[in-house]
Amino acid sequence: MKYEKSSMTITKASQNLVWTRCTRYGLANDECASFISTLNLRETEYGGECAQLERFTCRTNKMSSRYRTFDGSCNNPVKSSWGQALTGYKRLLHPRYSDGIEEPRRALSHKELPSARLVSTVLADNLDVPNSKNTIALPVWSQFIFHDLVHTPVRRTIHTDEAIRCCDDSGYNLSPRYVHPSCMPISVPDQDPFYKDKYVTCMDYTRSVTTFRGDCTFGAAEQMNQATHFMDGSHIYGSNSRHAAALREMTGGLLKTSLIENEELLPLATNPTEKCLVDNKSSACFSSGDIRANMHPWLTSLHSLWVREHNRVARTLESLNPGWNSDKLYHEARRIVVAELQHITYKHWIPALTGKEFDAMFDSYDVGYNSDIDPTITNSFATAGFHFVNSLLDQDIQVVDENNNVTAYRLKNSYFKPELVAEKKGLENILRGMVNQKSQKLDFNYDDDLRHHWLGGLDVMAVDIQRGRDHGLPGYAHYRALCGLPLPTTFAQLTDVISQEVVDKLSELYEHPSDIDLVVGMMAEYHLDGSLLGPTALCFFKEQLWRTRNGDRYFYTHTSEAGSFSKKQLTELRRTSLARLLCDNTDISSVQKNVFQPPSESNRMVSCEEIKRVNLAAWQDPSQQPDILTRTTKWIKNKVGSVGNSTK
């Protein structure tokens, strides 16, 4: 992957600097790493490569373009690489590595932290606790948006580009001589309640890909975002121009689709055995802007829905503006689709997740576009901020047909096996089920399928914890202090936002409050009134989503920019809803207006005719309209023709 090999070399050089210049003289690793981060790469062979990324130059036509680039570059008029794909995440706090550079964080006492799997088994349970206030659509949309903003690639072998194995096929630790340097396997305790009888001692975990530091210096490892840092539909359209072109039909502004059981779905992948967990090339597996579209049928269905929406918009624009060529139709449809996605996220999803009070406060901070605001996703948000959604998922995918007959399929059997979507009426039935099935409550109750069988035998919670350590995230206590809560020095001081029962478990696992992993602490917090999140998670969301909006020159609400919508168009875009998308692009004829909440007296099922729709006539180009004489002549010809036909 681009820059990966160079960044790994620089990381090793930084480690060598720490050892030769600091450790041997008794200087603290963190202090030394901070000093090393002031040393520029300019005088090294990698200086030019890094500077090329940092000082990316945009052509004038890109800076003034009505349309955003595919890779996120040239959004900011001064810092053209801000938000670009294949750049590093930013930090809210200085990273915490045990050697200051790359080695995983240790406890305050310098001992190893407890096994991520042990933390998971002690804290997590498998109780079925449905959430009566939300549907599965809420966590699935959360994942969908997360995949638009974040894609952290894992390292592969440099020369052969193969996956790196960190445990053997039986789940044992590899002999040290065979352990790849990029391995950071999760240790499974001897008395693990699930694995002790299976003699599994090791879970695979390969470290994330790193890239150059944003200021082109030596120093701590920084992980790469393979997606753009913008909410721009990159998971639908692709994060580079080549990928985007491969997904286009090149006629009528359309995206490619496949026709299966007379249903318009995502295009079929040419290499299904590589992109999906299927055994043969004839199995259903799809292509999209993001490989994770195949992760489970809910996500695959949402991706298919948005491709249908793009094509519906493109066809409507073509009928309104017959003189527009395929490129114009494609880019205008993409522009509208991204705006719809942003509107649903900021006006429907955020209130469902955070509560109306937070939503109103968040809106009050809308200052419009500001070129001084860096939209880059933070490492803490990417690594810990969104992973609460796994707790909300159910073990079953409920598929509901047009007669409301429900069939349940186990989620664990559907990872990267999207054949459910390819069945007759599969897409509609999955989506209908998604907006009716209740989600689980957000807590430490993870379904066993996610903790023992995720992606063929992993523990999703343990992986989330391990990833935080891999990325050098400081402990939860430091982030909560950053968000205005007191920095705890004893476990008793955590009870202001965490229950005594959970605090007791945390004190059994960790030696000190500062040792608690970020994702663990955020999951443990009480939810604020009306919100699904605790104070630290809510703080993260506000900080990141504010910059995602106000640091994006093309965000749909911004005015006076090259890509801004007219007032009339904005009025129409504000009528967008996920319910309307279901009505416009499937055979679903009735649905509740707020699909993130189950049907109820206050959110009743209504006919699609009662749900507001976006009138695309607001995008009719006046120059495309025939003059009054041409229109009158055409009308007369049609009338005469119909009279003539009726007399035959």
* SS3 of residue 84 by DSSP: coil
User: Do 204 and 165 contact (CB within 8 A), yes or no?
Assistant: yes
Neighbouring residues of 520: CB distance < 8 A, sequence distance ≥ 6:
119, 123, 465, 476, 506
Pick from 362, 365, 367, 370: nearest CA to 346: 362
Which listed residue (94, 147, 303, 387) is catalytic? 147
Q: What is the 3-state secondary structure (H, E, C) of 249-295?
A: CCCCCCECCEEECCEEECCECCCHHHHCCCCCCCCCCECCCCHHHHC
User: Do 227 and 234 contact (CB within 8 A), yes or no?
Assistant: yes
Burial class (CB in 10 A: 0-12, 13-18, 19+), 181: exposed
* SS3 of residue 88 by DSSP: strand
Residue 243 a catalytic site member = no
- Integer Cα distance of 528 and 546 in angstroms: 19
Burial class (CB in 10 A: 0-12, 13-18, 19+), 448: middle
Tokens representing 125? 């349970």
**Sequential DSSP letters for 373-434:** S--PPBHHIIIIITTTHHHH--SEEEEE-TT--EEEEEGGG-TT-THHHHSTTHHHHHHHHH
Side-chain-side CA neighbours of 34 within 13 Å: the count stands at 8
User: Do 312 and 445 contact (CB within 8 A), yes or no?
Assistant: no
* SS3 of residue 130 by DSSP: strand
- Integer Cα distance of 291 and 276 in angstroms: 9
Side-chain-side CA neighbours of 149 within 13 Å: the count stands at 28
Neighbouring residues of 201: CB distance < 8 A, sequence distance ≥ 6:
171, 172, 173, 187, 188, 190, 195
- Integer Cα distance of 26 and 444 in angstroms: 42
Which residues participate in catalysis according to the annotation? 147
